[in-house]
Structure 1
Amino acid sequence: MIEIKNDIESLRSLSQIFTPSNFKKIVRRKDYSYTNNRINKHVSFQTPTNKKNLIEFLYQELQTNYKSEYLYKNALINKLLLGKYSLNTTTIINEFKIGGSIADFVLLNGEARIFEIKTELDSLDKLSKQVSDYCQFANKIYVVTNSKFIDKLISEYGDSNIGIIEYTQQNTLKEVVEAKDNSTYFDHLTIFKTLRKQEYLDIVNQYFGYLPNVPNTQIFKECVSLVRHIEVKEFQ
């Protein structure tokens, strides 16, 4: 029998097991120290159990009592990447900087879609700024959230291009408002700043057949000036 301390702090601590940084430690170095530390602190069991069964139990417990951001992202991957799009033609980016904001979940498949997650544990204080930044980059933007925020989001964004998805009590995703195309808001500079240096140099060279002959300190500015001559939808 497995027992978990069912207070918010314990559940929050256990939810940190399910993070990309911890999974990297496990996969790359077989380092379970972080996982073991959290389990030993918050979980007790009367009979020995293997890690696989224990992790599955913890995941189910979090689905019931502490719906963290990881659960939302996992649901998005299962529904979109595994259920709708091809692994061969789709790229998912976790925590992607756009303007002054960090997008939770970005899906690239011929167009860019952003899924901003607001769990019941979050607030909506930063959402307006986040949406404003994302509109300059993504074709479609969705807010994925708990029922707690649905009415407020419909009131605020129901007549806009922003889509709304509910993460239900059954741990499924339900589209409440469909996202509309957002390309009229694209901004060259915002898109440009998401690129690595070699990426924007390749784009400039491809479109114009040359690279600016300027000192390295001026290459960014000159390339920005050039790409502004590319139609923004094509540049995106």
Structure 2
Amino acid sequence: MNNLLINRLFSQNALKDMTVNQNSSILNSCINKHKNSFNGDDNKAAISYLYKYSGKEYRNEYFYKNTLLNKLLIGRHSLNTTTALTELNIGNSKADFVLINGKAVVYEIKTELDNLDRLDNQIKDYYKAFDHVCIVTSKKHLNKVMEKYSNTDVGVCVLTERETISTKKEAIENRTGLEHSSIFKMLRKKEFEIVLSKYYGFLPKTNQFVYYRECLKLFERIPIEFVYKETLILLKKRVKLANQEKFLNDIPYELKTLVYFSEYNERQYDRLLDFLNNHIIKEEENVFSLFER
């Protein structure tokens, strides 16, 4: 149950409580579980402690995503030139983490807590919308993943014990599977309208009941290279944060991914920083007995 609380702590709902309500019952409950080993006195220290605990005992999907964002987007690239996206629906799959700069790479996360049952189908789906795919996995799955994808264009990375991303096999460009309909369904209405307008100079004039279908028909007639190029331009514009680099510098390492994908404004950043600097609220364990059920 302690690990379930960790999952709930590093979530958008918990971040909203911290920012809007200046309180987090989940954080308080987590600290209560660790009261014999946690010696800090503010919320920032509590979150840092629990994140480190997660890194040692329970490397969940958020831990992987946060490492990718910190080590690749912030550490290797630039917030001004590179965009990260998460939970993109592609076919029957959902891309965990996508990094877009001059090219786009889908990172499929397989933690030590996951199995590999759906991996083949996920990879096939991702190649319908992107030309670089990489699996980020744990030491537990590494040998099996390397063996399975050794003769493919799929890249393989491992999250090391030192919390770095180590590339074991580079992802190679492969556009043979790109599919108009998968890309179209991944785009928002305004986005596919921009692609159509740029290529044709017009949008279909029809009623709302068949508009989507008519747009797709036109979209499927556009050369796939043009579609892909314009799609990357549009996806790269999805994350719009004013003074993003300035604000994220003040956010603790442990929360950067949550904040990056929250698209906070300056006031919200300030509210979150206020919460992080507040003293932790220590309550009796029985207050959180509902989590024991």
State the TM-score, normalized to the length of structure 1: 0.90
Q: Which runs of 5+ in 1 are unaligned?
A: 1-8
Instruction: Give the Cα separation in 1 of the matches to 2:204 and 2:121.
Output: 34
Q: Name the amino acid aligned to 1:196.
A: R
Greater RCO structure (CA 8 Å; 6+ sep): 2
Cα distance per residue 1:174-198 (max 9 Å; x no partner): 1011100021211000000011112
The equivalent of 1:61 in structure 2 is 53
Residue 145 (str. 1) matches residue 132 (str. 2): no
| Secondary structure in structure 2 of the residue aligned to 1:174 | strand
Do the aligned residues in 2 keep the contact of 1:111 with 1:138 (CA within 8 Å)?
no
Q: Which has the higher strand share?
A: 1
Residue 188 (str. 1) matches residue 180 (str. 2): yes
The equivalent of 2:34 in structure 1 is 43
| Secondary structure in structure 2 of the residue aligned to 1:84 | coil
Cα distance per residue 1:45-83 (max 9 Å; x no partner): 486722221211111111111111111111111221112
Residue 215 (str. 1) matches residue 237 (str. 2): no
Q: Quick one: structure 1 residues 49 and 20, their matched pair in 2 at CA, closer, same or farther if it must change by over 3 Å?
A: same
The equivalent of 1:165 in structure 2 is 157
Instruction: Give the Cα separation in 2 of the matches to 1:115 and 1:220.
Output: 30
The equivalent of 1:108 in structure 2 is 100
Residue 231 (str. 1) matches residue 219 (str. 2): no
Cα distance per residue 1:71-110 (max 9 Å; x no partner): 1111111221112222112111121111111111111223
| Secondary structure in structure 2 of the residue aligned to 1:181 | coil
Q: Quick one: structure 1 residues 96 and 31, their matched pair in 2 at CA, closer, same or farther if it must change by over 3 Å?
A: farther
Q: Quick one: structure 1 residues 234 and 31, their matched pair in 2 at CA, closer, same or farther if it must change by over 3 Å?
A: farther
| Secondary structure in structure 2 of the residue aligned to 1:183 | coil
Instruction: Give the Cα separation in 1 of the matches to 2:102 and 2:218.
Output: 24
Report the CA distance between 1:215 and its aligned residue.
1.3
Residue 202 (str. 1) matches residue 191 (str. 2): no
Report the CA distance between 1:38 and its aligned residue.
3.4
| Secondary structure in structure 2 of the residue aligned to 1:39 | helix
Q: Which has the higher helix share?
A: 2
| Cα root mean square deviation, aligned | 1.7
Alignment of 1:2-41 (within 5 A): 9-40=1-32
Instruction: Give the Cα separation in 1 of the matches to 2:20 and 2:100.
Output: 26
Stretch moving more, 155-164 or 198-207: 198-207
Q: Which runs of 5+ in 2 are unaligned?
A: 229-293
Q: Name the amino acid aligned to 2:17.
A: K
* Number of corresponding residues: 227
Stretch moving more, 81-90 or 138-147: 81-90
Instruction: Give the Cα separation in 1 of the matches to 2:10 and 2:116.
Output: 24
Q: Quick one: structure 1 residues 25 and 94, their matched pair in 2 at CA, closer, same or farther if it must change by over 3 Å?
A: farther
1:134 corresponds to which of 126, 151, 157? 126
The equivalent of 1:4 in structure 2 is none
